[in-house]
Amino acid sequence: MIYVGGVPFQSDSSSSSQGAKILIDLMKHPILASASCVFKSIPERKISASEDSGSERVTECKWVYIFQREYATVDPNLVDLVGTDEATTCVGLVIRNHKSGMTSVGHLDSPDVVEIGLTQMLSLVADQNSDEMLEVHLVGGFDDSIAQDVSSMVSNHTKRGGFSFPLCAKIIDSLEKCNRKFHLQTLHVLENNTRQDSEGNAYPIFNGFLVQPSTGSIVPASFDGTSRCPDEVVRRIRLSASFEDTNWNGKLLETYDTKTDKFVIAPCSWTIRKLHIAMMLQNLSDAEILLTCSTSPSVEAPDFVENERRKWAYMTKHPDWRETFPLKQPRVFERTPRRWKRLLVEEDANAESNLIV
């Protein structure tokens, strides 16, 4: 159940598109509208692990970065900051236990992963039988819908130009139907997260955020390639590979081990078909890559195409996925004072040395 301002949120919705109607009512709530205005006024923090980037360095902090369709639950005793970016039509969901500070962040990219994903995120945030209220923030998505009325937006959510609204509606619907108490504190999505240029084209205001688990504070943020770690390229490939792996159907990708403060990248395979597709995509122009690989080609970050090309180049160089996951074991990274260090399985130690990423 959703609470706003400490009290249950009441909506007169009773239709099959309940989440959509509740979402629209929530967007009008004065407390949430005010919170979104405050969030919008916060300067975006630019995060980097490089000394030469000119951005804010996080090497003195213990941070966890989440890619698309991933989630992580962090312990404030082990982690200072957790965040994500690169969200255009995706939505970042934060669930925090204000008593323990346990904080789960998910980067949701489809309504299909919301229900199971919510269960995954809740598993370590609070005891199953607890009645305590959990803090919730939603940031991301923008007004990318072509349709103007709610019924059209819901029924046509698979069409290009209408991805954000159905995803937000599904999240709200799942929160409302869950037997937990969710104190919704930030709803910076859709029109609240939309700016327009002089020609009326819509763009997201923010593509990411940072959360401080110890305090619950959340601020807009963007990351560079040095801070999207560890194992950036492999994790990007894993997202694509997961669509052909039925083990991940409806789930968010598990990446981070809360108790050990290690990244554990589960094995994924790329088929010959995937390899052929990667080789074909490499030959496309930048504009064609945007149109083929993005739900919002006109608003992607400048490094979107480069990141896509790096994935395909890696797969072409390593056509056998078992080179990346020796013995079909996960890739495990432990934290060091300045970087993440990959831990290799014993049988693979003679072939590779520990990698600093």
What are the extents of the domains in the chain? 2-228
Q: Over 50: is that where the pLDDT of 9 sits?
A: yes
pLDDT in tens, 225-250: 999 999 999 999 999 888 888 889 99
Report, as an integer, the average pLDDT of 23-40: 97
333-353 residues labelled b (16+ CB within 10 A) or e (exposed): bebeeebbbbebeeeeeeeee
Given this model, what pLDDT does residue 59 score?
67
Given this model, what pLDDT does residue 338 score?
79
Q: Is the pTM of this model over 0.75?
A: yes
3-state secondary structure of 136: strand
User: CB–CB of 311/282 below 8 Å?
Assistant: no
Report, as an integer, the average pLDDT of 326-341: 93
Phi-psi group of 6: left, alpha or beta (phi > 0 → left; psi -120 to 50 → alpha; rest → beta): left
Given this model, what pLDDT does residue 60 score?
74
3-state secondary structure of 70: strand
Residue 13's pLDDT band (cuts 50, 70, 90): low
Fold assignment, 2-228: 60s Ribosomal Protein L30; Chain: A; (3.30.1330)
Q: How far apart are CA 55 and CA 58, in angstroms?
A: 9
Given this model, what pLDDT does residue 145 score?
75
Higher per-residue pLDDT: 68 or 201: 68
pLDDT in tens, 134-172: 999 999 999 997 433 444 444 444 343 489 999 999 999
